[in-house]
């Protein structure tokens, strides 16, 4: 097992330096779109309704700027809904920020959704159990201490 930056993973796979990788999009789709990688497991196969990423603020920031945190969270959620509604705009933004081929980004955008960004208690509890099982932490934070779904 080796640690690589996500942008380095497709080239490492193509050159034979690594046999496979697990990564957030669009870096998985790049290898698939260039026909030197294939998907062995989708995250939904390994963990239905899985949690991928989160928006996090420090406790200090939340105490000092609760309105700003709520506004930013609401804006991120609305942006996610907007990206799912407007594929062409999502693709345009992805091309601008990822500097990756349109083909790879098209594959990636088929696999991901940004519409439901709330983390349910059940999802979080599953995550907590996995964190403990794999030895990442013996006492991960409780849902109430970690998750605040701002409407």
**Residue 99 pLDDT greater than 90, yes or no:** no
What's the whole-number mean pLDDT along residues 125-148? 91
At residue 150, the pLDDT reads 56
Percent of the chain with pLDDT over 70: 98
At residue 34, the pLDDT reads 92
Give percent helix, percent strand, percent coil of the chain, each to the nearest 5.
55, 0, 45
Please tell me what DSSP assigns to residue 8: G
What's the whole-number mean pLDDT along residues 65-89? 92
CA dihedral angle for residue 14, residue 16, residue 21, residue 26, rounded to 10 degrees: -10
Alpha carbons within 13 angstroms on the beta-carbon side of residue 49 total 10
Q: Provide the pLDDT confidence category of residue 51 given band limits of 50, 70 and 90.
A: confident
At residue 149, the pLDDT reads 63
Q: Provide the pLDDT confidence category of residue 82 given band limits of 50, 70 and 90.
A: very high
**Residue 148 pLDDT greater than 80, yes or no:** no
Strand (E) or helix (H) holding 117: none
109 near 85, Cβ under 8 Å?
no
**What are the DSSP E strand ranges found in the chain?**
none
What's the whole-number mean pLDDT along residues 93-112? 91
**Residue 1 pLDDT greater than 90, yes or no:** no
**Residue 126 pLDDT greater than 80, yes or no:** yes
Look at the block and give the residue holding tokens 């933004």: 93
């Amino acid at each position: 097992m080796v640690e690589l930056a996500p942008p380095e993973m497709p080239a490492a796979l193509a050159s034979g330096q690594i046999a496979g990788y697990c990564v957030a999009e669009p870096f998985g789709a790049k290898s698939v779109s260039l026909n030197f990688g294939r998907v062995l497991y989708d995250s939904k196969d390994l963990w239905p309704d899985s949690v991928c990423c989160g928006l996090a603020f420090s406790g200090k920031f939340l105490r000092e700027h609760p309105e700003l945190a709520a506004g930013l969270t609401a804006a991120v959620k609305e942006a996610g809904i907007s990206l799912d509604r407007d594929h062409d705009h999502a693709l345009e933004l992805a091309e601008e920020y990822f500097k990756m081929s349109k083909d790879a980004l098209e594959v990636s955008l088929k696999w991901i959704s940004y519409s439901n960004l709330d983390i349910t208690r059940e999802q979080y509890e599953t995550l907590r159990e996995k964190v403990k099982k794999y030895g990442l932490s013996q006492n991960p934070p409780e849902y109430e201490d970690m998750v605040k779904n701002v409407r």
